[in-house]
Amino acid sequence: MKPLISESGAYAELKAIEILIIEDSDDDATLLCEELKRGGYDPVFQRVETAEDLRKILSQRDFDMIVSDYSLPQFTAREALKIVQATGRDIPFIVVSGSVRESTIVETMRAGARDYVMKENLTRLPLAVERELEEAAERKQHREIEEQLRHTQRLESLGVLAGGVAHDFNNLLTGILGNVSLVMEEAPRDAHFQPMLQNAMRAAEQAANLTRQMLAYAGKGQFYLEAVNLSAVARDIRALLLASISKNVDLILDLDDRVPAVEADRGQMQQLLMNFVINGAEAIGPERAGTVLVSTRARRLDYGELRNVFPREDLLPGDYVCLEVRDTGAGMDAETQKKIFDPFFSTKFTGRGLGLSAVMGIVRSHKGGIRVESERGKGSKFTVFLPASDRVVAGPRKNGGQEPHVFEGMVLVIDDEETIRLTAKAILEKYGLHVLLAETGRAGVDTFRRLGEKISLVLLDVTMPLMSGHEVLIEIRKIRQDTPVIFSSGYDEEDALQGIDQREFTGFLQKPYTASQLLRRVAQAMGKGAATG
């Protein structure tokens, strides 16, 4: 703002305003600006007098306000208003003219003009401008709130979709994990195909991590913290990263396998890395070659080095593991860098992945921080700092060891998914149990009513159509109170069992599960201790 000396000698501040004047007279345009100055404004203006010039300047820049004479030699304010409206921008449009008929004023206002000021009463112009600027700001705020509401509704819809997809996918993974783990147990330890089965198990377990991420996104899951090696995480999803970026982008991994572990959710770390790599590849674009470099290293940070890490107030000096993603893309200016972690902000025409605001949420939930370094035309570098842990990363899951229990009795498996029923049947029958199957809650209750005295255990899906697992449990308890019941679900335990009295069932089994996990839960429920394998 510029200082203005009023008639009383006091200083006031002129309010800057960028204004487009549609007028064929330089003198009249200057007169309008002088009136605005007297009203407390510091106008920076452009003047046009033809439709062609109006279209051209609107394509080049934006304005706070448009003031137009009603009648010009080559076109009218009504025609100018249509050109402005065609841009889709909400720029207040005020008509200033000499004597016109009242019907003309009414028609112009109906067409979309915000106000009409007569030239013989220009002292009203600053007041009209002030009011229109305030109303424009209110309309902008209202649009932003509406857009955030629409965005939230879209996220909620996507959350419902993600939760449903993850639940169904967990059912499929149960069939894969259960059957592969069963084959691994039956096959000789030195069989040539054991490595292939182990690869299949690892791939299925990584898919299970991704479904946990989807459930967390849908609000139906929780994070599972474990000792994680970030170098191993990056190497494990290299193929997935390559499949997610353009062929013109070269992905380079510079990973230090000796970095300490971090306390993290593996699925969250995978999603964080994928987001950074995909963003970097999109910053390079599909038309030119470029590089995305992913590196890991250990660092000891002091207060000085933490100054440029966000959020700085949450971080303490100490040992950190650094995950760095550097790209040779378009880069960002300082103004863009200030906004990249804001919700709903994007430089793309459409969103993809988690978004950097969600990435910041992941990092903060892991007690870490992010440093951003970027320059327009010179690419970007994102560095994530996570506190190092002294925990040891768990080795790959092994099968074998002590012989698992051989059971006696009858198990009723109630699940609407055929894959789940057949997988559970194959595993349980292998270890001596007789298995009954029911594909609906009602069929399960009918079977239990007929054979309840012989049934040693019920494996019950929580989410089924028509009759839920909870409703089935209520009916079962009316028949027998002492039969062990294990609930199973593709949703997280806390969410799946909400509202169910824990005293009424024996345990919970998270889908997807392996043969040994199912047997361990069955052994616990039947009072035989923990099965091994």
* 384 and 438 inside one domain: no
Q: Which two tokens stand for residue 441?
A: 């809650």
* 245 and 303 inside one domain: yes
* 323 and 378 inside one domain: yes
Residue 97, domain CATH: 3.40.50.2300
Residue 170 CB partners (closer than 8 Å, separation 6+): 208, 211, 490, 511, 512
Look at residue 446 in the predicted model and tell me its pLDDT. 95
DSSP 531: -
Bridge-based pairing of strands 485-489 and 507-510 is parallel
DSSP 404: P
Give the tens place of pLDDT for each residue, 216-263.
555 555 566 889 999 999 998 888 888 888 889 999 999 999 999 999
* 380 and 416 inside one domain: no
Cα atoms found within 13 Å of the Cα of residue 211, Cβ hemisphere only: 24
Residue 83 amino acid letter: I
**Torsion sign (Cα): 338, 342, 344, 350:** positive
Of 58, 83, 113, the residue that ends a domain is: 113
Residue 328 amino acid letter: T
Residue 533 resides in a domain: no
- Give residue 211's Cα distance to chain centre: 14
Determine contact, residues 413/424, Cβ cutoff 8 Å.
yes
Concatenating the DSSP letter of every residue in 258-270 gives: TPPEEEEEHHHHH
Whole-angstrom distance, CA of residue 275 vs CA of residue 522: 40
- How many distinct structural domains can be found in the chain? 3
Of 80, 95, 113, the residue that ends a domain is: 113
Look at residue 500 in the predicted model and tell me its pLDDT. 86
* 251 and 286 inside one domain: yes
* 521 and 422 inside one domain: yes
Q: Which two tokens stand for residue 399?
A: 């099968």
Query: With 80 as the cut, is the pLDDT of residue 528 above it?
Result: no
Look at residue 479 in the predicted model and tell me its pLDDT. 94
Residue 413 CB partners (closer than 8 Å, separation 6+): 420, 421, 424, 425, 428, 435, 436, 437, 438, 458, 459
Give the tens place of pLDDT for each residue, 331-376.
888 777 766 765 445 555 333 434 566 677 778 778 888 888 888 8
Bridge-based pairing of strands 457-461 and 507-510 is unpaired
Based on C-alpha coordinates, what's the Rg of the chain? 33
Whole-angstrom distance, CA of residue 252 vs CA of residue 235: 11
Look at residue 220 in the predicted model and tell me its pLDDT. 56
| Average pLDDT, integer, range 499-503 | 83
Of 113, 143, 160, the residue that ends a domain is: 113
Whole-angstrom distance, CA of residue 487 vs CA of residue 456: 15
Print the SS3 string covering 83-121: HHHHCCCCCCEEEEECCCCHHHHHHHHHHCCCEEEEHHH
Query: With 70 as the cut, is the pLDDT of residue 529 above it?
Result: no
Whole-angstrom distance, CA of residue 467 vs CA of residue 378: 59
Residue 57 resides in a domain: yes
Residue 121 resides in a domain: no
Residue 80 resides in a domain: yes
Residue 469, class by beta-carbon neighbours within 10 Å (0-12 exposed, 13-18 middle, 19+ buried)? buried
**Torsion sign (Cα): 33, 37, 39, 44:** positive
Look at residue 222 in the predicted model and tell me its pLDDT. 58
Residue 498 resides in a domain: yes
Give me the percent of the chain exceeding a pLDDT of 90: 37
Place of tokens 């590196």: 295
> Rounded to whole angstroms, what are the CA distances from 116 to 88, 92, 95, 122, 475?
21, 12, 5, 11, 74
Give the tens place of pLDDT for each residue, 378-405.
899 999 999 999 887 765 544 444 445 5
Q: What is the domain range of residue 246? A: 230-392
Look at residue 322 in the predicted model and tell me its pLDDT. 95
Look at residue 7 in the predicted model and tell me its pLDDT. 42
Count Cβ atoms below 10 Å from residue 336 Cβ, excluding itself: 14
> Rounded to whole angstroms, what are the CA distances from 241 to 70, 85, 200, 275, 321?
59, 44, 19, 10, 21
Residue 206 resides in a domain: no
Of 507, 418, 414, which Cα lies nearest the Cα of 466? 414
* 386 and 431 inside one domain: no
CB neighbour burial string for 45-76, b if at least 16 within 10 angstroms, e if fewer: bebbbebeebeeebeeeebbbbbbbbebeebb
> Rounded to whole angstroms, what are the CA distances from 226 to 256, 262, 501?
19, 8, 29
296-301 contact pairs (CB < 8 A, 24+)? 296/230, 296/231, 296/234, 296/254, 296/255, 296/256, 296/259, 296/321, 296/322, 296/323, 296/324, 297/256, 297/259, 297/321, 297/322, 297/324, 298/256, 298/258, 298/259, 298/260, 298/322, 298/388, 299/385, 301/385
Residue 132 resides in a domain: no
Residue 118 resides in a domain: no
Look at residue 230 in the predicted model and tell me its pLDDT. 95
Query: With 50 as the cut, is the pLDDT of residue 8 above it?
Result: no
Q: Which two tokens stand for residue 6?
A: 């009023």
* 383 and 266 inside one domain: yes
* 266 and 326 inside one domain: yes
* 66 and 8 inside one domain: yes
Determine contact, residues 132/65, Cβ cutoff 8 Å.
yes
* 250 and 376 inside one domain: yes
DSSP 193: T
Tell whether omega for the bond before 512 is within 30 degrees of 0, i.e. cis. yes
Place of tokens 């790599």: 277
* 319 and 384 inside one domain: yes
